[in-house]
Amino acid sequence: MSENKLGDHGSESIADVLLHNPNIHRLTANGNGFDEKAAKILAEAIKLNNRLKYLCLSHNKFGEKAGLELAPALAANETISELNLSWNHLRNRGACAIALSLKV
C-alpha cells in the first residue's frame, strides 16, 4: 500500500481492513500523504487490532499532533513488535510520546 497518495480517505479504508481482517500481520503504508486526521483514524484501528506485528507508516505527513494521537494506540497494542515512522515530522513532543508508549 506504499506510495499511493491515499490521504485521509485511504486511511479510513486501511483502518477498516485492520479492524475486520484478522489475517493482516504486516502493513506497509509509507508515502501516502497521511496527516493528523489520518493518524487519528488509524490510531483507533491500531489500538483495537490484536494481530498486527509490523507497521510501517514512514514518509507521510505526520506532525507532532499525529505522534500524540498514535502514542496511546501503540501503548494499547500488544502485538506490534516492529514499527517504522521515519521521515515524518513528529517533532519533539510527538516522537517522545511515541517513545514513551513503547516502553515495556
pLDDT in tens, 14-63: 999 999 998 999 999 999 999 999 999 999 999 999 999 999 999 999 99
Residue 104, pLDDT above cutoff 70: no
pLDDT in tens, 87-101: 999 999 999 999 999
Specify if 55 maps to a domain: yes
Pairing outcome for strands 26-28 and 54-56: parallel
Domain count, the chain: 1
Average pLDDT over residues 77-94: 97
Specify if 1 maps to a domain: no
Specify if 27 maps to a domain: yes
Specify if 64 maps to a domain: yes
Residue 3, pLDDT above cutoff 90: no
Specify if 43 maps to a domain: yes
Specify if 67 maps to a domain: yes
What b/e readout covers 37-58, taking b as 16+ CB neighbours within 10 angstroms? ebbbbbbebbbebeebeebbbb
Specify if 72 maps to a domain: yes
Q: Residue 65 — very low, low, confident or very high, per pLDDT cuts 50/70/90?
A: very high
Please give the pLDDT value at position 8. Answer: 86
Specify if 70 maps to a domain: yes
Q: Residue 85 — very low, low, confident or very high, per pLDDT cuts 50/70/90?
A: very high
- 2 or 45, which is more confident: 45
Which residues constitute the domain of residue 38? 6-101
In angstroms, the CA 5 to CA 69 distance is 21
Domain with residue 87: its CATH number is 3.80.10.10
